[in-house]
């Protein structure tokens, strides 16, 4: 049984609260513990601070072996997504309690299907969006640029990140809807072969919750391809649900070092809540594949935790109740469900090292700083869009991402959803099937791209209505102006 309100079921010691309804004291306890972890030494790696250890583990998910046939644990775009991030979250909870006087302190969740985001992005909690005049730096709240130092760059890109948090929050109405969660909860199978970005999101709960369309890739080839650099790019597979929230926050959240932003934890606590709700409906013993998929089967030890002396498998973390964890207000959304199919799996007890830990540790924002006023002129032309986002260098954006086109035809094809084409030095990639408007919205709003590199200005500021109008115009085929 899930938690409901303040009354926790027997055996539920650690209650993940709805961040929107937390008291001022509860918000303060969580914030102080996060800040304390930024100063405490990691018990796993003496070269890292405790908070940064979690960022490091997350970036290491993109490390792979180009000489191996099945080179990597699929902590993204594969079945290990949910158990890996659950273990990550459980370890973070333990770290929070180690630096807090509250020994039942637990990461809250942000229900991003609720468009009322003011309490989450308030000055006494997560802080607001970034300031576009300061490279999208977060300048409000306890994690503002002068109070919260970012130390871990995205894997393989030293210096590509920033020493301060960056965000560019989208419009709340662009967040996932309750109906999307309800539909995902009706899919009976946890995951389906081939267990990667090409799994059918109508049959795979993991794929649907992650937000992949079933047609993406890691950038040319299968979901298991590893480049000679040994660093796998973030998967490009769709922009709904989990993926959409990363893109919606922007900045650090659009990179492999997304854990640098404390919003990451609230986001993944909600992802774990939805998985927990699905397990209540379809069973705990449902993880697949059971075997035959190296590094990703139910009893395979998770990387890179194993390098830190933590031996844990997907089967071991299948049941939140074994760890005394439940969720406040975790009933299913009130939308009509959609049908789905399939799944079975394995469970077990969680194992691993529990280190001794280090020392202790202090106006709402609902969109990008300096939000643009509505446009009153005619819809922009395709030429003006193209000229506005044309760039000489490759700056891939999260999710659907093009910011550099070689011809207007290629740009048009991308915007209408035929293919998303990414041009990098010496490389051309085609990734089919993402929605038409994601690049368009980022470009026209001047939103930052992956690694914090901003779009060039396009000389126009659009309202949501303008964007919808322009999107319809592009889809209608008006590319010759």
What is the per-residue pLDDT for 355?
47
Q: Locate tokens 């048009």: which residue?
A: 412
CB contact at 8 A, 403 and 455: yes
Interval 403-431: pLDDT, tens: 333 444 444 444 444 333 333 333 333 33
pLDDT at 356 over 60: no
If pLDDT is split at 50, 70 and 90, which confidence band does 226 have? confident
End-to-end CA distance of the chain: 59
What is the per-residue pLDDT for 445?
39
Alpha-carbon gap, residue 107 to 92, rounded angstroms: 8
What is the per-residue pLDDT for 64?
80
CB contact at 8 A, 449 and 397: yes
Angle between helices 178-185 and 241-249 in degrees, nearest 10: 150
Q: Write the CB contacts of 248 (distance below 8 Å, at least 6 apart in sequence).
A: 112, 169, 170, 174, 175
Interval 250-304: pLDDT, tens: 999 988 899 999 999 999 999 999 999 999 999 999 999 999 888 899 999 999 9
What is the per-residue pLDDT for 321?
94
What is the per-residue pLDDT for 121?
98
pLDDT at 179 over 80: yes
* Mean pLDDT, range 449-458, rounded to an integer: 30
Closest CA to 165 of 183, 189, 185, 146: 146
Q: Write the CB contacts of 158 (distance below 8 Å, at least 6 apart in sequence).
A: none
What is the per-residue pLDDT for 173?
87
What is the per-residue pLDDT for 375?
33
What is the per-residue pLDDT for 165?
95
* Mean pLDDT, range 18-44, rounded to an integer: 97
Max CA distance (Å), the chain = 66
Residue-by-residue DSSP string for 103-155: TT----B--TTSS--TTTTSTTTT---EEGGGTTEE-SSTTSTTT-----PPT
- Residue 26 tokens, joined: 């509860």
Please compute Rg for the chain using Cα positions: 21
What is the per-residue pLDDT for 198?
87
CB contact at 8 A, 110 and 263: yes
What is the per-residue pLDDT for 257?
93
If pLDDT is split at 50, 70 and 90, which confidence band does 155 have? confident
Which residues make beta-bridge pairs with 41?
49
Domains, the chain, in order of start with CATH, read 14-327 (1.10.1280.10), 382-475 (no CATH)
What is the per-residue pLDDT for 9?
54
- In 3-state terms, what secondary structure has residue 284? coil
Average pLDDT, whole number, for the chain?
73
Interval 94-147: pLDDT, tens: 999 999 999 999 999 999 999 999 999 999 999 999 998 999 999 999 999 999
Residue-by-residue DSSP string for 350-372: -----------------SSTTPP
CB contact at 8 A, 92 and 54: yes
Exposure string of 392-402, with b = 16+ CB inside 10 Å and e = fewer, is eeebbbbbbbb
What is the per-residue pLDDT for 271?
98
- Residue 123 tokens, joined: 């000055």
Alpha-carbon gap, residue 370 to 133, rounded angstroms: 9
The mean-pLDDT minimum among 238-252, 300-314, 429-443 falls in 429-443
């Amino acid at each position: 049984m899930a938690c409901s309100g303040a009354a926790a079921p027997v055996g539920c010691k650690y209650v993940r609260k709805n961040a929107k309804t937390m008291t001022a004291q509860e918000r303060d306890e969580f914030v102080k513990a996060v800040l304390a972890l930024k100063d405490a030494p990691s018990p796993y790696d003496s070269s890292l601070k405790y908070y940064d250890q979690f960022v490091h583990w997350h970036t290491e998910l993109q490390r792979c072996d180009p000489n191996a046939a099945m080179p990597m644990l699929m902590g993204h775009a594969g079945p290990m997504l949910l158990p890996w991030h659950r273990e990550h979250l459980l370890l973070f909870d333990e770290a929070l309690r180690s630096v807090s006087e509250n020994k039942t302190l637990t990461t809250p969740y942000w229900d991003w299907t609720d468009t009322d985001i003011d309490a989450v992005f308030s000055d006494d909690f997560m802080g607001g969006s970034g300031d576009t005049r300061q490279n999208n730096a977060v300048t409000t709240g306890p994690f503002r640029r002068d109070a919260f130092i970012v130390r871990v760059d995205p894997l393989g890109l030293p210096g590509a990140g920033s020493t301060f948090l960056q965000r560019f929050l989208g419009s709340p109405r662009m967040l996932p809807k309750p109906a999307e969660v309800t539909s995902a909860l009706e899919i009976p199978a946890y995951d389906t072969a081939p267990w990667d970005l090409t799994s059918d999101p109508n049959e795979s709960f993991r794929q649907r919750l992650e937000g992949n369309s079933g047609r993406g890739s890691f950038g040319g080839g299968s979901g298991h391809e590893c480049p000679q650099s040994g660093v796998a790019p973030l998967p490009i597979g769709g922009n709904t649900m989990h993926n959409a929230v990363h893109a919606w926050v922007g900045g650090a959240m659009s990179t492999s070092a997304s854990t640098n932003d404390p919003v990451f934890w609230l986001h993944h606590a909600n992802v774990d809540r939805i998985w927990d709700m699905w397990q209540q409906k379809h069973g705990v013993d449902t993880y697949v594949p059971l075997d035959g998929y190296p590094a990703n089967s139910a009893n395979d030890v998770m990387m890179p935790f194993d390098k830190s002396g933590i031996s844990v498998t997907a089967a071991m973390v299948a049941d939140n109740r074994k760890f005394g964890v439940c969720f406040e207000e975790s009933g299913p959304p009130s939308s009509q469900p959609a049908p789905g199919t399939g799944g079975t799996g394995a469970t077990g007890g969680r194992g691993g090292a529990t280190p001794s830990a280090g020392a202790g540790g202090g106006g709402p924002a609902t969109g990008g700083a300096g939000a643009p006023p509505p446009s009153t002129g005619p819809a922009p032309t395709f030429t003006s869009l193209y000229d506005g986002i044309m760039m000489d260098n490759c700056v891939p954006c999260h999710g659907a991402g093009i910011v550099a086109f070689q011809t207007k035809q290629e740009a048009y094809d991308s915007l209408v959803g035929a293919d998303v084409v990414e041009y990098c030095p010496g490389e051309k990639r085609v990734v089919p099937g993402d929605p038409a408007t994601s690049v368009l919205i980022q470009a026209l709003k001047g939103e930052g791209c992956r690694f914090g590199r901003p779009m060039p200005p396009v000389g126009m500021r659009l309202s949501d209505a303008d964007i919808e109008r322009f999107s319809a115009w592009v889809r209608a085929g008006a590319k010759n102006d």
